[in-house]
Amino acid sequence: MAVPCNIRGSASQLFYQDHQSAQYQALLAITELPHPDRSILGAFLIDAKDPRKAARYFLRETLIDGTSRSVRTRTIWEFLSDWKNLVSLFRPITATGLCAETERLVYDRDGGRCCVTQACFNSPADSDLRFVHIVLPRVFMNPDLVEGGRLSEMLYAFLSKDSIESFRSILSLDTQKTERLDNLCLLSVPAFKLVEAGEVWFETMSWDQRNSPHRQSYIINTNPYRYTTLSEMPIASSAEMMLIEDKTNNQTPVPHKDLFGLHALFSNSLAWIEVKREMIQQSDRPTPRAIDVLETSDAAYLLMTRVPGRPIGQLLDTMTDKQVHNVVADLKRYVAELRAIPNQVSKFQICNSEGGGILDWRIRDSQSEELRFETETDFHNHLTRKMTDDTRRQAAKSHTIPHAIVFTHSDLNPRNILAENGRITGIVDWENAGFFPEYWEYTKTHYTVRHVIRWLADVVDQTFEGYRDELYVDNMLSDLAGPF
């Protein structure tokens, strides 16, 4: 995940509830780093085999653990630099110099197809084919990683000594072979680029009882959140599963599941390093985008003027902290302008922009009934009408507080806010807009996007002040009511 800079006081449920824990203190310490460096180092703390051990190691090395040592081992920036160097050693690479026999064995084992996309190759010499080492074969022999090496303790903190010994054993060469076949796979060039950059990684389907040294099934995952589905990625596949098996029936070993697992542990850091590279290359390159219009005989869709920019959810990972700060300033101004619009259309306090019934994906029956309310109390009674007495008592924590009723967009999620060059260019999808209690805009920004942590901590929580009790109550009610 993207680690936000505003962790202290965040309302997100993703952060450690124990603020005295090593993990929380370590994440708090790295907020001084800019994005995406913060997320690169955050992956060391979050993705480690034992996150508590990794956090304690980081705090000890950077002297944030309160010990009496007079000189710390390294600064946070130096720790980040070492971590980047370590991660680079675990990037998949193309296997060059393979003998013809090894190439033929791997090619035939994989059926002459890319393991990810299933694209067919013409021969082992196909220009779109890459023989790939999942892990650099002699990576653990690197002088920096051997016992006492400069990065060895950091590696131990991330993986543990036992797992490292297991990986050493997997990668060891016997006297008969020059290459481990279970560290080789076939990938197309586009698929290799994504795997190499950590944007695609594989999770073993451990429940598949048919798995063996000659057959393994995986779930294909994307990393980070620039691609929400594989169909959006620049590879010719939308499959969510990958099956690697020996197509020759000659008992040829397939890629070792633990090596794919090792790649998965480093994939988050690799992906954020790629994000930083792209941010440096892109600078402020404009990418205008039109909004489509669609009309059918039985439905009418909202027609909007063409607005430049792209949904901010697609851009957030490549935005600097300064750009995110500008987005917050823009959003505050737009929300203030909306709230200044008076309700001159209806005696009902809670209603849509024309005084009629509200439409809100958070309130399921608003899609089928004419719902509008004369008072905030009536509105809250509707939200809790099917809840237990105990739930209503808990909801009273915020439902008994009077709120101003203001004009509200009601769906300010990362898909509906367009941005370009680090500024908001427009807000779209107004079908949920209407007059609601002032907290509704804030609680709805959390609805359905609770996992987009940088959006919530660095944008939403910085745009809206307060409303934490209201968020707690509405999260509880929406969880109990179920989606849509």
> Is the Cβ–Cβ distance between 347 and 353 less than 8 Å?
no
383, containing H or E segment: helix 376-383
**C-alpha span between 459 and 323 (Å, rounded):** 11
**C-alpha span between 427 and 338 (Å, rounded):** 12
What is the token pair recorded at 483? Answer: 């989606």
Omega of the bond prior to 234 within 30 degrees of 0, cis?
no
pTM of the model: 0.72
The torsion region of residue 72 among left (phi > 0), alpha (psi -120 to 50) and beta comes to beta
Architecture of domain 310-481: Alpha-Beta Complex (3.90)
What is the token pair recorded at 316? Answer: 């957030």
**C-alpha span between 353 and 440 (Å, rounded):** 15
Phi, psi of 373 (to 5 degrees): -135, 140
Looking at residue 70, its pLDDT comes to 43
* pLDDT by 10s per residue, the chain, length 484: 788 888 887 777 666 567 788 998 999 999 988 889 999 999 999 999 999 999 999 999 997 655 545 455 678 988 999 999 999 999 999 998 899 999 999 999 999 999 888 889 999 999 999 999 999 999 999 999 999 999 999 999 999 999 999 999 888 865 445 578 999 999 999 999 999 999 889 888 877 777 777 788 888 888 755 554 455 555 544 457 788 888 888 888 899 999 999 999 999 999 999 888 877 665 443 333 334 445 566 665 555 566 788 999 999 999 999 999 999 999 999 999 899 888 888 889 999 988 889 999 899 889 888 999 999 999 999 999 999 999 999 999 999 999 999 999 999 999 999 999 899 998 888 889 999 999 999 999 998 788 888 999 999 999 998 899 999 999 999 999 876 5
Looking at residue 302, its pLDDT comes to 53
Q: Show me where the domains of the chain are located.
A: 22-64+72-280, 310-481
Find, among 440, 443, 376, the residue nearest to 407 by Cα: 440
Spell out the alpha helix ranges (H) of 47-144. Answer: 51-61, 76-88, 100-109
* Residues 6 or more apart whose Cβ sits within 8 Å of residue 444: 360, 362, 408, 410, 411, 412, 432
